[in-house]
Amino acid sequence: MPTLLHNGPILVDDAFHDDLAVVVEGDRIAAVAPASVLSVAFPEAEIRDLNGARLVPGYIDTQVNGGGGVLFNDAPTLETIARIGAAHRRFGTTGFLPTLISDDLSVIDQAIDAVEQAMLEGVPGVLGIHIEGPFLNVARKGIHDPSKFRTLDDEAVRLLTRMKTGRTLITLAPETTTPDMITALVADGAVVAAGHTDADYPTVRAAMDAGVTGFTHLFNAMSPLTSREPGVVGAALESQTAWCGIIVDGHHVDPVVLKLALRCRPADRFMLVTDAMPSVNAPHLGDGDDHFYLQGRRISVKDGACLDERGVLAGSDLDMAAAVRNARDLLGLDLATAVMMASAAPAAFLGLERKRGRIAPGLAADLVILDEHFTAIETWIDGASLRNGA
Protein backbone atom coordinates (compact mmCIF):
# COMPACT_ATOMS: atom_id res chain seq x y z
CA MET A 1 0.00 0.00 0.00
CA PRO A 2 1.39 3.46 -0.89
CA THR A 3 2.05 5.94 1.92
CA LEU A 4 1.29 9.65 1.53
CA LEU A 5 3.39 11.98 3.70
CA HIS A 6 2.05 15.51 4.12
CA ASN A 7 1.63 18.52 6.39
CA GLY A 8 5.25 19.48 6.90
CA PRO A 9 8.05 21.32 5.07
CA ILE A 10 9.52 19.01 2.41
CA LEU A 11 12.97 19.62 0.96
CA VAL A 12 12.80 19.42 -2.84
CA ASP A 13 16.02 20.41 -4.58
CA ASP A 14 17.26 23.54 -2.80
CA ALA A 15 14.20 24.72 -0.87
CA PHE A 16 11.57 23.60 1.63
CA HIS A 17 7.98 23.53 0.41
CA ASP A 18 4.97 23.62 2.74
CA ASP A 19 2.46 22.89 -0.02
CA LEU A 20 3.86 19.56 -1.24
CA ALA A 21 3.35 15.94 -0.26
CA VAL A 22 5.26 12.75 -1.07
CA VAL A 23 3.97 9.31 -1.97
CA VAL A 24 6.16 6.31 -1.18
CA GLU A 25 5.30 3.12 -3.03
CA GLY A 26 7.45 0.06 -2.54
CA ASP A 27 11.09 1.13 -2.37
CA ARG A 28 10.61 4.24 -4.54
CA ILE A 29 9.25 7.75 -4.32
CA ALA A 30 6.20 7.51 -6.55
CA ALA A 31 5.16 11.17 -6.68
CA VAL A 32 5.80 14.65 -5.33
CA ALA A 33 2.90 17.11 -5.67
CA PRO A 34 0.30 18.98 -3.60
CA ALA A 35 -1.52 16.71 -1.17
CA SER A 36 -4.88 17.49 -2.79
CA VAL A 37 -3.59 16.15 -6.10
CA LEU A 38 -1.93 13.06 -4.63
CA SER A 39 -4.91 12.05 -2.52
CA VAL A 40 -6.94 11.79 -5.74
CA ALA A 41 -4.18 10.04 -7.69
CA PHE A 42 -3.51 7.56 -4.86
CA PRO A 43 -6.89 7.07 -3.14
CA GLU A 44 -5.72 3.84 -1.51
CA ALA A 45 -2.67 5.43 0.12
CA GLU A 46 -2.15 5.36 3.86
CA ILE A 47 -2.07 8.99 5.07
CA ARG A 48 0.83 10.01 7.30
CA ASP A 49 0.56 13.41 8.94
CA LEU A 50 4.00 14.93 9.53
CA ASN A 51 2.49 17.36 12.04
CA GLY A 52 4.87 20.08 10.93
CA ALA A 53 8.04 17.96 11.01
CA ARG A 54 10.50 18.40 8.17
CA LEU A 55 10.99 15.72 5.52
CA VAL A 56 14.46 15.61 3.95
CA PRO A 57 16.47 13.17 1.81
CA GLY A 58 18.34 10.50 3.73
CA TYR A 59 21.93 11.24 4.63
CA ILE A 60 24.75 9.43 2.81
CA ASP A 61 28.02 9.01 4.70
CA THR A 62 31.01 7.98 2.60
CA GLN A 63 33.37 7.48 5.55
CA VAL A 64 32.17 5.29 8.43
CA ASN A 65 34.83 3.35 10.31
CA GLY A 66 32.56 2.14 13.05
CA GLY A 67 29.59 2.66 15.33
CA GLY A 68 27.52 0.86 17.89
CA GLY A 69 30.68 -0.19 19.73
CA VAL A 70 32.29 -2.00 16.78
CA LEU A 71 35.04 -1.14 14.29
CA PHE A 72 35.10 -2.45 10.72
CA ASN A 73 38.85 -3.16 10.85
CA ASP A 74 38.46 -5.30 13.97
CA ALA A 75 35.95 -7.64 12.36
CA PRO A 76 35.24 -7.03 8.67
CA THR A 77 32.08 -9.14 8.64
CA LEU A 78 28.44 -8.86 7.65
CA GLU A 79 27.48 -8.69 11.34
CA THR A 80 29.79 -5.73 11.93
CA ILE A 81 28.42 -3.89 8.92
CA ALA A 82 24.83 -4.45 10.05
CA ARG A 83 25.61 -3.17 13.54
CA ILE A 84 27.35 -0.07 12.20
CA GLY A 85 24.44 0.68 9.88
CA ALA A 86 21.89 0.28 12.66
CA ALA A 87 23.91 2.55 14.96
CA HIS A 88 24.04 5.36 12.41
CA ARG A 89 20.50 4.98 11.10
CA ARG A 90 19.05 6.63 14.19
CA PHE A 91 20.94 9.78 13.16
CA GLY A 92 19.45 9.91 9.66
CA THR A 93 22.10 7.93 7.79
CA THR A 94 20.25 5.94 5.13
CA GLY A 95 23.28 5.14 2.97
CA PHE A 96 26.90 4.53 3.96
CA LEU A 97 30.24 3.07 2.97
CA PRO A 98 31.82 0.87 5.65
CA THR A 99 35.35 2.22 5.77
CA LEU A 100 38.50 0.17 6.23
CA ILE A 101 41.61 2.09 7.22
CA SER A 102 45.08 0.91 6.18
CA ASP A 103 45.44 -2.83 6.65
CA ASP A 104 46.84 -5.94 5.00
CA LEU A 105 45.54 -7.02 1.59
CA SER A 106 44.06 -10.13 3.16
CA VAL A 107 41.92 -7.95 5.44
CA ILE A 108 40.85 -5.82 2.49
CA ASP A 109 39.85 -9.00 0.69
CA GLN A 110 37.77 -10.10 3.68
CA ALA A 111 36.16 -6.66 3.94
CA ILE A 112 35.12 -6.72 0.28
CA ASP A 113 33.55 -10.15 0.77
CA ALA A 114 31.63 -8.86 3.79
CA VAL A 115 30.29 -5.82 1.93
CA GLU A 116 29.22 -7.97 -1.04
CA GLN A 117 27.42 -10.32 1.33
CA ALA A 118 25.78 -7.41 3.15
CA MET A 119 24.44 -5.97 -0.10
CA LEU A 120 23.30 -9.39 -1.32
CA GLU A 121 21.40 -9.99 1.91
CA GLY A 122 19.91 -6.50 1.92
CA VAL A 123 21.52 -4.99 5.01
CA PRO A 124 19.85 -1.54 5.07
CA GLY A 125 21.88 1.35 3.75
CA VAL A 126 25.02 -0.36 2.49
CA LEU A 127 26.12 1.32 -0.75
CA GLY A 128 29.62 -0.14 -1.14
CA ILE A 129 32.99 0.12 0.57
CA HIS A 130 35.58 2.81 1.28
CA ILE A 131 39.15 1.52 1.32
CA GLU A 132 41.22 4.28 2.95
CA GLY A 133 44.81 3.21 2.46
CA PRO A 134 47.21 1.46 2.69
CA PHE A 135 48.57 3.35 -0.35
CA LEU A 136 49.35 6.48 1.67
CA ASN A 137 52.28 8.75 2.54
CA VAL A 138 53.91 8.17 5.91
CA ALA A 139 54.51 11.94 6.21
CA ARG A 140 50.73 12.41 6.47
CA LYS A 141 49.83 9.13 8.16
CA GLY A 142 47.57 10.61 10.83
CA ILE A 143 46.26 7.72 12.94
CA HIS A 144 47.03 5.10 10.26
CA ASP A 145 49.60 2.41 11.02
CA PRO A 146 52.53 3.04 8.63
CA SER A 147 53.66 -0.58 8.94
CA LYS A 148 50.62 -1.42 6.78
CA PHE A 149 51.56 0.98 3.97
CA ARG A 150 52.53 -0.53 0.63
CA THR A 151 52.96 0.32 -3.03
CA LEU A 152 49.98 0.17 -5.36
CA ASP A 153 50.75 -2.56 -7.89
CA ASP A 154 48.79 -4.60 -10.42
CA GLU A 155 47.88 -7.23 -7.82
CA ALA A 156 46.42 -4.57 -5.54
CA VAL A 157 44.51 -2.95 -8.40
CA ARG A 158 42.87 -6.27 -9.22
CA LEU A 159 41.89 -6.73 -5.58
CA LEU A 160 40.58 -3.20 -5.10
CA THR A 161 38.37 -3.36 -8.17
CA ARG A 162 37.02 -6.89 -7.86
CA MET A 163 33.74 -5.88 -6.19
CA LYS A 164 31.10 -5.47 -8.88
CA THR A 165 28.15 -4.66 -6.64
CA GLY A 166 27.87 -1.22 -5.09
CA ARG A 167 30.52 1.46 -5.14
CA THR A 168 34.21 1.15 -4.29
CA LEU A 169 35.83 4.33 -3.02
CA ILE A 170 39.61 4.29 -2.69
CA THR A 171 41.62 6.92 -0.83
CA LEU A 172 45.28 7.06 -1.83
CA ALA A 173 48.22 9.43 -1.87
CA PRO A 174 48.85 10.38 -5.52
CA GLU A 175 52.60 10.72 -5.01
CA THR A 176 52.87 7.06 -4.00
CA THR A 177 51.54 5.80 -7.33
CA THR A 178 51.28 6.87 -10.97
CA PRO A 179 48.57 8.50 -13.08
CA ASP A 180 48.37 5.27 -15.08
CA MET A 181 47.52 3.29 -11.94
CA ILE A 182 44.82 5.80 -11.03
CA THR A 183 43.38 5.57 -14.53
CA ALA A 184 43.33 1.78 -14.24
CA LEU A 185 41.36 1.97 -10.98
CA VAL A 186 38.81 4.35 -12.47
CA ALA A 187 38.51 2.31 -15.67
CA ASP A 188 37.56 -0.70 -13.53
CA GLY A 189 34.80 1.24 -11.79
CA ALA A 190 36.46 2.65 -8.67
CA VAL A 191 35.94 6.16 -7.34
CA VAL A 192 39.33 7.57 -6.33
CA ALA A 193 40.03 10.30 -3.77
CA ALA A 194 43.28 11.87 -2.61
CA GLY A 195 44.03 11.69 1.07
CA HIS A 196 46.82 11.23 3.61
CA THR A 197 49.04 12.82 1.01
CA ASP A 198 52.03 15.19 0.99
CA ALA A 199 51.87 15.73 -2.77
CA ASP A 200 52.74 19.01 -4.42
CA TYR A 201 50.27 20.86 -6.61
CA PRO A 202 51.46 19.52 -10.02
CA THR A 203 51.25 15.92 -8.74
CA VAL A 204 47.69 16.43 -7.51
CA ARG A 205 46.66 18.06 -10.78
CA ALA A 206 48.09 15.15 -12.75
CA ALA A 207 46.18 12.74 -10.51
CA MET A 208 42.97 14.66 -11.11
CA ASP A 209 43.55 14.52 -14.84
CA ALA A 210 43.99 10.74 -14.44
CA GLY A 211 40.70 10.30 -12.61
CA VAL A 212 40.85 11.50 -8.98
CA THR A 213 37.49 13.15 -8.27
CA GLY A 214 37.54 13.63 -4.51
CA PHE A 215 39.53 14.71 -1.46
CA THR A 216 39.25 12.78 1.79
CA HIS A 217 38.68 14.96 4.90
CA LEU A 218 39.83 18.28 3.41
CA PHE A 219 42.63 20.04 5.35
CA ASN A 220 43.38 16.97 7.46
CA ALA A 221 46.41 14.78 6.65
CA MET A 222 47.38 16.64 3.48
CA SER A 223 49.95 19.22 2.35
CA PRO A 224 48.63 22.70 3.18
CA LEU A 225 48.15 25.83 1.10
CA THR A 226 51.18 28.11 1.48
CA SER A 227 52.39 31.27 -0.23
CA ARG A 228 54.65 29.49 -2.72
CA GLU A 229 53.23 25.96 -2.82
CA PRO A 230 49.47 25.44 -3.21
CA GLY A 231 49.77 21.82 -2.11
CA VAL A 232 46.84 19.42 -1.94
CA VAL A 233 44.61 21.96 -0.21
CA GLY A 234 45.27 24.54 -2.92
CA ALA A 235 44.47 22.05 -5.67
CA ALA A 236 41.25 21.07 -3.92
CA LEU A 237 40.08 24.65 -3.39
CA GLU A 238 40.96 25.66 -6.93
CA SER A 239 38.89 22.85 -8.43
CA GLN A 240 35.26 23.64 -9.09
CA THR A 241 34.32 20.05 -9.88
CA ALA A 242 36.02 17.67 -7.42
CA TRP A 243 34.16 16.74 -4.24
CA CYS A 244 35.68 17.48 -0.84
CA GLY A 245 34.70 15.58 2.28
CA ILE A 246 34.65 17.74 5.41
CA ILE A 247 34.38 16.72 9.07
CA VAL A 248 32.39 19.46 10.78
CA ASP A 249 32.86 18.52 14.43
CA GLY A 250 34.72 21.56 15.72
CA HIS A 251 37.86 19.47 16.27
CA HIS A 252 39.21 18.47 12.85
CA VAL A 253 39.05 21.89 11.20
CA ASP A 254 38.38 25.35 12.62
CA PRO A 255 34.99 26.61 11.41
CA VAL A 256 36.59 29.82 10.08
CA VAL A 257 38.82 27.75 7.79
CA LEU A 258 35.80 25.83 6.48
CA LYS A 259 33.90 29.10 5.92
CA LEU A 260 36.78 30.35 3.78
CA ALA A 261 36.81 27.09 1.83
CA LEU A 262 33.08 27.40 1.15
CA ARG A 263 33.70 30.78 -0.48
CA CYS A 264 36.14 29.25 -2.96
CA ARG A 265 33.96 26.67 -4.66
CA PRO A 266 30.36 25.48 -5.12
CA ALA A 267 28.61 24.24 -1.98
CA ASP A 268 27.38 21.15 -3.81
CA ARG A 269 30.99 19.97 -4.19
CA PHE A 270 31.38 19.63 -0.43
CA MET A 271 30.22 16.49 1.40
CA LEU A 272 29.60 16.12 5.10
CA VAL A 273 31.29 12.98 6.41
CA THR A 274 31.62 11.64 9.94
CA ASP A 275 34.80 9.53 9.85
CA ALA A 276 32.93 7.86 12.71
CA MET A 277 34.47 5.47 15.19
CA PRO A 278 32.88 2.78 17.44
CA SER A 279 31.91 5.41 20.03
CA VAL A 280 28.95 6.65 17.96
CA ASN A 281 25.81 5.22 19.54
CA ALA A 282 27.91 2.68 21.43
CA PRO A 283 26.29 0.62 24.19
CA HIS A 284 29.70 0.49 25.85
CA LEU A 285 33.26 1.47 24.99
CA GLY A 286 35.44 -0.01 27.68
CA ASP A 287 35.92 -0.19 31.43
CA GLY A 288 35.21 3.52 31.82
CA ASP A 289 32.94 3.92 28.81
CA ASP A 290 35.42 6.48 27.49
CA HIS A 291 37.73 4.63 25.13
CA PHE A 292 38.15 1.96 22.48
CA TYR A 293 41.09 0.30 20.76
CA LEU A 294 42.29 0.87 17.21
CA GLN A 295 44.83 -1.67 15.93
CA GLY A 296 46.14 -2.09 19.47
CA ARG A 297 46.21 1.60 20.37
CA ARG A 298 44.01 3.05 23.10
CA ILE A 299 41.76 5.80 21.78
CA SER A 300 40.16 8.11 24.35
CA VAL A 301 36.81 9.75 23.67
CA LYS A 302 36.40 13.11 25.38
CA ASP A 303 34.20 16.09 24.57
CA GLY A 304 33.37 14.64 21.16
CA ALA A 305 36.98 14.03 20.08
CA CYS A 306 38.73 10.68 19.60
CA LEU A 307 42.44 10.94 20.47
CA ASP A 308 45.33 8.51 20.88
CA GLU A 309 47.86 8.84 23.69
CA ARG A 310 49.87 11.34 21.64
CA GLY A 311 46.84 13.55 21.06
CA VAL A 312 46.45 12.53 17.41
CA LEU A 313 42.87 12.59 16.14
CA ALA A 314 41.57 9.09 15.45
CA GLY A 315 38.43 9.51 13.41
CA SER A 316 35.51 11.14 15.18
CA ASP A 317 32.63 10.75 17.57
CA LEU A 318 30.37 12.51 15.05
CA ASP A 319 27.05 11.41 13.56
CA MET A 320 25.41 12.80 10.42
CA ALA A 321 22.55 14.55 12.24
CA ALA A 322 25.12 16.42 14.34
CA ALA A 323 27.18 17.16 11.21
CA VAL A 324 24.14 18.79 9.58
CA ARG A 325 23.40 20.82 12.71
CA ASN A 326 27.05 21.88 12.95
CA ALA A 327 27.13 22.94 9.31
CA ARG A 328 24.18 25.18 10.09
CA ASP A 329 25.37 26.48 13.47
CA LEU A 330 29.16 26.61 13.02
CA LEU A 331 29.36 27.45 9.31
CA GLY A 332 26.24 29.59 9.00
CA LEU A 333 24.68 27.48 6.24
CA ASP A 334 20.94 27.34 5.76
CA LEU A 335 19.41 23.96 6.56
CA ALA A 336 18.63 23.15 2.92
CA THR A 337 22.30 23.57 1.96
CA ALA A 338 23.53 21.60 4.96
CA VAL A 339 21.19 18.71 4.10
CA MET A 340 22.24 18.84 0.45
CA MET A 341 25.86 18.41 1.54
CA ALA A 342 24.76 15.31 3.45
CA SER A 343 22.62 13.79 0.71
CA ALA A 344 22.67 15.00 -2.90
CA ALA A 345 26.39 15.88 -2.91
CA PRO A 346 27.69 12.48 -1.73
CA ALA A 347 25.18 10.73 -4.00
CA ALA A 348 26.61 12.62 -6.98
CA PHE A 349 30.19 11.90 -5.89
CA LEU A 350 29.39 8.18 -5.92
CA GLY A 351 27.58 8.40 -9.25
CA LEU A 352 24.23 7.63 -7.62
CA GLU A 353 22.47 10.92 -8.31
CA ARG A 354 19.87 9.22 -10.51
CA LYS A 355 19.05 6.69 -7.80
CA ARG A 356 19.10 8.49 -4.44
CA GLY A 357 20.08 11.63 -2.57
CA ARG A 358 17.03 13.80 -3.39
CA ILE A 359 13.28 13.77 -2.95
CA ALA A 360 12.06 13.23 -6.50
CA PRO A 361 9.82 10.73 -8.32
CA GLY A 362 11.58 7.51 -9.24
CA LEU A 363 14.39 7.82 -6.73
CA ALA A 364 14.91 5.51 -3.77
CA ALA A 365 12.60 6.23 -0.85
CA ASP A 366 15.47 7.12 1.49
CA LEU A 367 14.01 9.78 3.77
CA VAL A 368 14.47 11.37 7.17
CA ILE A 369 11.85 13.08 9.31
CA LEU A 370 13.38 15.84 11.46
CA ASP A 371 11.91 17.46 14.55
CA GLU A 372 12.28 21.14 15.45
CA HIS A 373 15.81 20.50 16.75
CA PHE A 374 16.81 18.79 13.47
CA THR A 375 16.98 15.46 15.25
CA ALA A 376 16.10 12.43 13.15
CA ILE A 377 12.91 10.93 14.56
CA GLU A 378 12.22 8.49 11.73
CA THR A 379 14.17 7.14 8.77
CA TRP A 380 13.11 5.39 5.58
CA ILE A 381 15.55 3.18 3.69
CA ASP A 382 14.30 1.85 0.36
CA GLY A 383 10.75 2.51 1.51
CA ALA A 384 11.03 0.76 4.88
CA SER A 385 10.49 3.09 7.84
CA LEU A 386 11.92 2.92 11.33
CA ARG A 387 11.11 5.30 14.15
CA ASN A 388 13.77 6.03 16.72
CA GLY A 389 13.09 4.00 19.80
CA ALA A 390 11.21 1.36 17.81
Specify whether the CB–CB gap between 66 and 84 falls below 8 A: yes
Choosing from 275, 317, 319, 366, the catalytic residue is 275
303 is known as an active-site residue: no
Which residues are 381's β-sheet partners? 384
Per-residue HEC secondary structure of the chain comes to CCEEEECCCEEECCEEECCCEEEEECCEEEEEECHHHHHHHCCCCEEEECCCCEEEECEEEEEECEECCEECCCCCCHHHHHHHHHHHHCCCEEEEEEEEECCCHHHHHHHHHHHHHHHHCCCCCECEEEEECCCCCHHHCCCCCHHHCCCCCHHHHHHHCCCCCCEEEEEECHHHCCHHHHHHHHHCCCEEEECCECCCHHHHHHHHHHCCCEECCCCCCECCCCCCCCHHHHHHHHCCCCEEEECCCCCCCCHHHHHHHHCCCCHHHEEECCCECCCCCCCCCCCCCCEEEECCEEEEEECCEEECCCCCEEEECCCHHHHHHHHHHCCCCCHHHHHHHHCHHHHHHCCCCCCCCCCCCCCECCEEEECCCCCEEEEEECCEEEECCC
- Name which of 144, 134, 152 is nearest 220 in CA terms: 144
Rounded to an integer, what distance in angstroms lies between the CA atom of residue 390 and that of residue 380? 13
**Catalytic amino acids?**
275
